[in-house]
Amino acid sequence: MKIAAGSVAEIYLDGSARIVCPPELIPAPGQYLLAHADASPHPLPVPLFSSLSAPHGFRSAPTPTPSWRPGDLLALRGPIGHSFVIPPSARRLALIAFDDSPARLLGLIPLALKQNAEIVLVGDSPAEDLPEIVEVQPLKAMLNALQWSDYAALDIERENLPGLRERLERNPQAPAKSEAQVLVRAPMPCGALADCGVCALILRHEWKMICKDGPVFGLGELL
Ligand code: FES
């Protein structure tokens, strides 16, 4: 983990931002940076996940940063946490945006294409500028996509984990067939620095901190 200065180069209509930063700070898909704008009236840093590659940095997933403006200087810390890891043998990938934009999963597409994998993107929020090779399916196709895939990456809010469990319990064969990892989203104000506990998650009677034990977990750990 490193600390460095960066800046906001551009802010897009969907709330994502082009961040300029040293290459070693660019988070891998699933990891995040904590960012605080010098001029921001908000005391807490914001977790930034990468979405797409961009010149001299990366484009973040949409993030609520109401006071940020292009040109703002950022104090950055990261990359933090566990990233997604596509098994080298995977040839059929399901990217599942359970309850939000698929932006945090898009960085996996170029990695999957490098290993000649087929990709299906599942979710009910639109994604722009996808390579033609990526098939798009609505969320109701999730179980089929899990059965078809040999690796799946999911993105879900912590509060929606019971809903995911419920869907999977109705069809236990689906997750068993693919190797799957889940990015669990929650507020992460201290980013593993102060053990604030805001990002806590109880798994099998044990407390985990999403900011440092995740944010990417094996699906098996969550069921
Ligand atoms: S964000 Fe503070 S412990 Fe996770």
Expressed in angstroms and rounded, the spacing between residue 148 Cα and the centre of ligand 1 is 35
CATH domain 92-222 topology: Rossmann fold (3.40.50)
Question: DSSP assignment, residue 67?
Answer: T
Nearest residue by C-alpha to atom 3 in ligand 1: 195
DSSP per position, 61-82:
PP---TT--TT-EEEEEEEESB
- Residues of the chain within CATH 2.40.10 domain(s) are 2-80
Hunting for tokens 């879900």 — which residue is that?
Answer: 156
Architecture of domain 2-80: Beta Barrel (2.40)
Atom of ligand 1 nearest to the CA of 200: 4
Tell me the residue type at 99: D
Model confidence band, residue 114 (pLDDT cutoffs 50, 70, 90): very high
Tell me if 20 sits within 8 A of 6, measured CB to CB: yes
Q: Mean pLDDT for the chain?
A: 92
pTM above 0.75, yes or no: yes
Expressed in angstroms and rounded, the spacing between residue 136 Cα and the centre of ligand 1 is 34
Tell me if 25 sits within 8 A of 8, measured CB to CB: no
Give the C-alpha separation, 1 to 14, whole Å: 28
- Residues of the chain within CATH 3.40.50 domain(s) are 92-222
Q: What percent of the chain has pLDDT over 70?
A: 97
Nearest residue by C-alpha to atom 1 in ligand 1: 188
3-class secondary structure, 34: strand
Tell me which H or E stretch contains 110: helix 108-114
Whole-number pLDDT of residue 176: 61
The answer to whether residue 165 scores a pLDDT higher than 80 is yes
Cβ 168 under 6 angstroms from ligand 1: no
Probe ligand 1: pick from 44, 158, 201, 209, max atoms within 8 Å of CB? 209
